[in-house]
Amino acid sequence: MSGSDDKWEQILRVAARLFAQRGYHGTGMTELGDAAGLQRGALYYYIRSKENLLYEISSRHVAEMVDFGERLAKEERPATDKLLRLSERLIRTIHDDLDEVTVFFREIGALTGERRQRVFELRDRFEEVWMSILQQGVSEGTFRRADPLLIKAVLGMHNYSYLWLRPDGKMQPEEVARYFCELLFRGILTETGDAEYRSFTANS
């Protein structure tokens, strides 16, 4: 990684921390520059605009989750396995990148125009990943149903863990993910699906 890339990553980390603590509108460019060790002109050289910085912070992790989810959805695995892996990856991301995730959930409303549209498109694609896996489970006979409201409920349960998930918490991210999935599976697994899931978790 070049020195320029290192500085860009530093700016992203600093901005995510400040935006998470003080809000996007509550963080000034001078304050951001001071925290990053850059004069105002040098800061704009890297970020182009404050909104562009917000976009980069907000879109990066959701884009990575979409990429992971879309690749996972194409793999030859049972739907229960896929959902557990997707859940684990999402909770691990929230846990490891809490500032960035906090900014995504709290501040994306400040995005405008094409940036706002692109982030919302990524969000919709991520929901489609969950729906495709649930529909796979219905086709396999392991899930009883798949509907948009269920996706909203499941993602809400996962996403809002950013409000309480902490590095020093009692449960590891993977434990949280498994707990969430078990709550979901209690409501949608068929008898066949339940037996398959128990067999998978016993051997994992």
CATH number of the domain at 132, please.
Answer: 1.10.357.10
Count of structural domains, the chain: 2
Strand boundaries in 43-196, DSSP class E: none
> Are 41 and 81 found together in one domain?
no
Per DSSP, the three-state class of 26 is coil
Q: Which residues span the domain enclosing 41?
A: 1-48
Q: What is the pLDDT of residue 2?
A: 52
Quote the pTM value: 0.89
**Phi, psi (5° rounding) for residue 29?**
-65, -35
Residue at 53 is within a domain: no
Residues 192 and 145 in one domain: yes
Per-residue pLDDT of the chain (204 residues; tens, 9 = 90+): 455 678 889 999 999 999 999 999 999 988 998 998 888 788 888 888 999 999 999 999 999 999 999 999 999 999 999 999 999 999 999 999 999 999 999 999 999 999 999 999 999 999 999 999 999 999 999 999 888 888 999 999 999 999 999 888 889 999 999 999 999 998 898 887 777 777 766 666
Whether residue 78 is found in the same domain as residue 171: yes
Residue 65 in domain: yes
Q: What is the pLDDT of residue 44?
A: 81
Tell me if 92 is assigned to some domain. Answer: yes
Domain harbouring 7, CATH code: 1.10.10.60
Q: Which of 9, 26, 48 is the last residue of a domain?
A: 48
158 and 82, same structural domain? yes
Question: Nearest 10 degrees: CA dihedral of 135, 136, 137, 138?
Answer: 50
Per the domain annotation, does 186 fall within a domain? yes
The beta strand positions in the chain, using DSSP E, are none
